[in-house]
Structure 1
């Protein structure tokens, strides 16, 4: 069962030594991310969920530079002598965990990269489920806020991100799933919300007992939301 969840953006400047000026300008965002991630410490396992090209699981201990065994669903990797190329969101999530727990993450961390197929993504997220799981979800809102956004300005960005933020602030899995259900709109807005769809399905019918919206903004034309969900008594 899930005991906690943290939602953080996949902004590359959250990785140490990458775009440090942007990181300094976004100190409030960085602080919010680290606070949300630290709240996952009491679980038996952390599942890092990020958007990828296909549904895949990297069990605890497998990182880009050292793969001891093939990830679930990719048994051909070691046979071909290949190493997996992790998604940007996965790298950002790992960096946040390392920054939040400088002495080492206190529990195993499994990585799940989503591929956009609900059944496969949900099975990947539940793979190796523990008694008390926590999830770290890396996702972005619309990247079309204003003329200097990565994507072309789109006035749908505001309402789209409003719905995401409201669902996360209210701890409402149904509203969260509804807010990011339209893949065509999400794609047009360059929003990275597949991991949020997984969170919504994992918690459907089991909403958190406490929520905290730690950050909401679009400082570089991209919608960033940081949220923390908690299930008391577990």
Structure 2
């Protein structure tokens, strides 16, 4: 699989966020999905894993090749099935729009309905791997995202706030805050090249590197 996109993650404070954002707004464009009022949009992801939580534990177990399956929606609109792979800081993502019928079938692991309604060989292969690996929906991750873009390197800088984790399928689900108060996740994503003028703004600061995914951090909280 071709891994050309670099993804870096950091935990930053609210104060650091305001300072960095005030510089980036002069260098980058606000993401077109953002709402005019607050510059943000909501992301909800449902992650799939097996009985042994293998996808959650890949990083902790020292496995170099990471892979995740999730259903993701933006501002609670139409959903996509995403398959994301990562080696080190290099990533690749495949995604497919879902009808409501297919989304429900995925959540219910109804493969008869899935195969009947899927005519794309790539998504058929993805669903086939999910069935082979006995993956089931396990955890919701929700957050608000503020994103900035630049055409060079297809660069995206995102600030993810109010991140919560909720176990899937519980009769009385309990939503947990993933991060400490007054902190958020900064993500830097680019293909092949990060513009120097953006790099200088970000990397002269001593931000705390985030080694684990939102899914892993949320999963860890639900084990308590």
TM-score, scaled to structure 1: 0.27
Q: Determine which structure has more spread, i.e. the larger CA radius of gyration.
A: 2
Higher helix share: 1
